[in-house]
Amino acid sequence: MMPMIRSGSAEGSVLAALHSPKQLRVEVLAGLVVALALIPEAISFSIIAGVDPRVGLFASFTMAVTIAITGGRRAMISAATGAVALVIAPLVRTHGLDYLIATVILAGVFQIVLSVAGVAKLMRFVPRSVMVGFVNALAILIFTAQLPHLFGVAWLVYPMVAAGLLIMVYLPKLTTIVPAPLIAIVVLTALTVLFTLDVPNVGDEGALPSSLPSLLLPHIPLTFETLRVIAPFALAMALVGLMESLMTAKLVDDITDSHSDKTREGWGQGLANIVTGFFGGMGGCAMIGQTMINVKVSGARTRISTFLAGVFLLILVVGLGGLVAKIPMAALVAVMIMVSAGTMDWHSIAPKTLRRMPIAETTVMLVAVAVTVVTRNLAIGVVVGVLTAMVAFAHRVAHFTEVTPIPESVGTNEPQESGTQVYKVRGELFFASSNDLVYQFDYTGDPGHIVIDMTDTHIWDASTVAALDAITTKYAAKGKTVEIIGLNPASEARHDLLSGHLTGAH
């Protein structure tokens, strides 16, 4: 394995690679392999989005080249992705390509704004169960998107899909020099041309590029109504792209034992989408599969491999566009089925894992999957999953709080004074746990002086202060006094600031 270059900047690692023939060779070959692997997926994602294959291919070129310069995670591959395709497909069906281009540009602007505002820091609040649900839902949606290509077609499609799957399953056991999906496409395309098989092909889906991409401005009315149409899709695309890119960046950090600038990666994705939009591309984000090919399989570590992946891709599709048009759709369906299978986290749904996993964690994962599949919107699924996880966490933590009456002389150095009752509070006090706090005391049966020991707890919010005020008020109504002791400095400061000043406390 090639040793990782540690440098104070991304540019330093590029210079190091340029001065090292061995590393430069690794970067160049990695870029070529990734470009070959990008072709079938870019075409497939274009079809999912409902646009011509060239729209996805140009997007993959501009995304890769731009992010190689602007991104914060070296060697990560960005291109047209299934996640973005699924988000924008409804817009393409109803409003067409020009609205798609405007959406991609606006999504880039949203990503820059969100990144500068610190959205990368919010990734820490996305639980693992939601991430697993996100991945599993993406796998399901990619698979279901292939079903229209499997119904009402010639019978030859089915054995061709099966043959493609067999190649991709068993070829990697022999060699991984060339990506198995590419071999499957080459073999099935050769059979189709050699035997003139009458099956749907890429050419039936739309024209491939015969020239380099050029600047393209969307022909749409610049009105509030246009903004109303594209803004929801642009925001969803921005969020999905950021989430997938930041999660992929974290994965590459772990593999390479290095750190990346997540904020730069976020606004870099935004710039890449803006450039892609102005060149007529469908937009995109980081690709987990191609990034693993680049970093883990090929050993690339610099921006050179990412840049060359885009350049090689353009050379292949423009120079060999006639041949690419003859690729049978069955081959692409097989590729996408394998992508779906590889995306799914099978370990998360294994019976052994489900038996061991807490019910709340499994519920959060299933909610994220169900909402995403029903709405076909990955961003909505993640947001609902996070909210579900927060509710589950609050419910679980709330039950850790307990109020215990301390018998005379237990837990103290001196016997308790007659007429004094001590209560020991344990756990974390916030809105979910403090709501029941007021019902844990014997207001009628307790003596005239009440001591509430808060040594083993912490006050997190105003709801808890309001609950303590309510307890004090209830005792005062019966002529009894309450003394609160043991507050840590932060809790004491919050209590002193808010106690007696919360409207509605009772």
pLDDT tens profile 7-45: 344 444 788 888 888 888 888 888 888 888 888 878 888
Do 133 and 87 contact (CB within 8 A), yes or no?
Answer: no
Of 482 and 23, the one with more pLDDT:
482
Helix (H) or strand (E) holding 423: strand 420-429
What CA–CA distance (Å, rounded) separates 157 from 155?
Answer: 5
Average pLDDT for 219-247: 91
DSSP state of 416: P
Residue 408 pLDDT:
58
Flag the least confident range among 53-57, 65-69, 405-409, 462-466. 405-409
What is the band of 369 on the pLDDT scale with cuts at 50, 70, 90? Answer: very high
Instruction: Report whether pLDDT(136) > 70.
Output: yes
Burial class (CB in 10 A: 0-12, 13-18, 19+), 93: exposed
Instruction: Report whether pLDDT(178) > 80.
Output: no
Residue 371 pLDDT:
93
Helix (H) or strand (E) holding 170: helix 157-170
Residue 7 pLDDT:
38
Average pLDDT for 112-117: 94
Distances from the Cα of 466 to the Cα of 47, 460, 472, angstroms: 57, 12, 10
Average pLDDT for 204-208: 71
Average pLDDT for 425-449: 87
Flag the least confident range among 141-145, 263-267, 406-410. 406-410
Q: What is the CA radius of gyration of the chain?
A: 29
Q: How many CA atoms lie within 13 A of 111 on its CB side?
A: 36
Instruction: Report whether pLDDT(168) > 60.
Output: yes
What CA–CA distance (Å, rounded) separates 21 from 27?
Answer: 10
Residue 432 pLDDT:
81
Query: How big is the CA angle at 57 (ends 298 and 190), to the nearest 5 degrees?
Result: 75
- Give residue 165's identity as a one-letter amino acid code: L
Q: Give start and end residues of each alpha helix (H) in 171-261.
A: 180-194, 224-256
* Nearest Cα residue to 289 out of 92, 142, 108, 123: 142
Residue 412 pLDDT:
44
Residue 304 pLDDT:
93
Instruction: Report whether pLDDT(415) > 50.
Output: no
Average pLDDT for 435-448: 88
What is the band of 207 on the pLDDT scale with cuts at 50, 70, 90? Answer: low
Tokens of 195: 């035997």
Residue 4 pLDDT:
39
Residue 330 pLDDT:
92
Distances from the Cα of 249 to the Cα of 123, 294, 340, angstroms: 12, 13, 21
What CA–CA distance (Å, rounded) separates 157 from 151?
Answer: 10
What is the band of 161 on the pLDDT scale with cuts at 50, 70, 90? Answer: very high
Instruction: Report whether pLDDT(473) > 50.
Output: yes
pLDDT tens for residues 267-325? Answer: 999 999 999 999 999 999 998 778 887 887 778 889 999 999 999 999 888 887 778 77
Instruction: Report whether pLDDT(336) > 50.
Output: yes
3-class secondary-structure state, position 281: coil
- Residue carrying structure tokens 């990619």: 142
For the chain, what is the mean pLDDT?
86
Instruction: Report whether pLDDT(109) > 60.
Output: yes
Instruction: Report whether pLDDT(52) > 90.
Output: no
- Residue carrying structure tokens 């991984």: 176
Residue 418 pLDDT:
56
The proportion of the chain whose per-residue pLDDT surpasses 70, expressed as a percent, equals 93
